[in-house]
Amino acid sequence: MTGKFLSLNDAEYAVFVSQLRQANERLNAFNFIDENKKSGKIISVKDNICVKGMPATASSKILQGYTPGFNATAIQRLEDNGFSVIGKTNMDEFGFGSFGLNSEHPAKNPFNEEYVAGGSSSGSAVATALIKEHVSIAESTGGSISAPAAFCGVVGLTPTYGAISRYGLIDYASSLDKIGFIGKSADNIREVMEKTVGSDPKDTTSLSTAISNKNSHKLYVIDNLMGGIDEGIKDRFEELLVRLSTKDYKIEHVKIDYLEYSVPAYYILSMSEASTNLAKYQGFKYGFKVKDFSLNYNDFFMSARKQFGREAKRRVILGTFIRSKSIKQKYYEKALAIRHAIIARMKNFLKDGFIIMPSMPIFTPKISEVSDISPVEAYSMDMLTVPPNLCGFPHMSFPYFYERGMPLGAQIITDHFNDYSLLDFLSEWEIGFKYKFKEEIG
């Protein structure tokens, strides 16, 4: 099927951009909005994905001033098929965060500005909630699509690792990063995905495996992941399971070993890779330039790298420590082994069904409350989104309930390269679930 997307004439476009800028002043969804008239279907793009002629900062001061002269492969494929980019969306710096607050101007939740938008694809989720018939091209490493989609009441699809080229993505952790989509409908997401999947000679991690839609009416609930979830979230999730069971879905409760190690394994691997990938930002090539060449070696590079935010510095330091010769075998190699063990165990269930769980273990927190959460506690908020991301399984967060005036999301996981089955599930869900957004532009 073909989805609906905004396509505006000159007068409509001027009004649209004006309304979008006004909303952006309140919600900080965009780092950059292009006022030039767009022909074709309007999409937005997360600010760590390169769009020719538009700033690409990954919400980091160290990349201020960087404007790529090329498109990421995913963007080029979409532009070749009649899509136009309206702007670059806000995010946690380099993708480091679950709440969207690791940005100079944090995004705010469209349902209530006192609440977080989720991260790291915060701006993509807010933009999608605001704009009619919209899809934002986002990216996930450990939950960066599912978390903001859940908090902002939209749909977030994270594809199989390797299904979509990462060429033109400002990397965080190369073995984990996945370009994906945040949208409102199955048809819209399906259309952009069909135009972007496929191997790319510019990205050796992209794969040519065909995407299937092997469907199932069996849903597995992982009981040993439910322990750390807010009791209110559990209650609402149980109501969802009852509702699905009336639609001929068979619910089975299971235990999957080693999942309790997924979060520490993920952060060991992701921080290690982040410290390597961020090493290239040294004041010479990209964005921030150190102009005082009289400085000694250490002071020169310190002048550049002090532009990193607090969380980026934390991850670079920890990742460098983990990769050190005396520590690597103790932590890094064990994390790799845990990842492979979890993949094998999850596949045992995904071969004949879906795994379903809440997207986030807590209700959407207020911005003021997050300052009381320690870094370790913040990392633990990824307990539900990390397993599929660590293993490269396709997964999708979809809105299913309102609680305290805020949306709740549930996450469904399937086997590698069975991505379209998630959209089939969403299409079926949409038939009986009428969802109204509070505010839309366009």
Give the residue numbers annotated as catalytic, written as ranges.
46, 120, 144
3-state DSSP of the chain:
CCCCCCCCCHHHHHHHHHHHHHHHHHHCCEEEECCCCCCCEEEEEECCECCCCCCCCCCCHHHCCCCCCCCCHHHHHHHCCCEEEEEEECCCHHHCCCCCCCCCCCCECCCCCCEECCCCCHHHHHHHHHECCCEEEEEECCCCCHHHHHHHCCEEEECCCCCECCCCECCCCCCCCEEEEEECCHHHHHHHHHHHECCECCECCCCCCCCCCCCCCEEEEEHHHCCCCCHHHHHHHHHHHHHHHCCCCEEEEECCCCHHHHHHHHHHHHHHHHHHHHHHCCCCCCCCCCCCCCCCHHHHHHHHHCCCCHHHHHHHHHHHHHCCHHHHHHHHHHHHHHHHHHHHHHHHHHCCCEEEEECCCCCCCEHHHHCCCCHHHHHHCCCCCHHHHHHCCCEEEEEEEEECCEEEEEEEECCCCCHHHHHHHHHHHHHHCCCCCCCCEC
- State the greatest distance between any 2 C-alpha atoms of the chain, in Å, as a whole number: 72
Residue 215 to residues 115, 189, 193, 222, 252, Cα–Cα distance (Å): 36, 18, 18, 19, 16
Residues 286 and 330: their CA atoms lie apart, in Å, by: 34
Residues 164 and 369: their CA atoms lie apart, in Å, by: 36
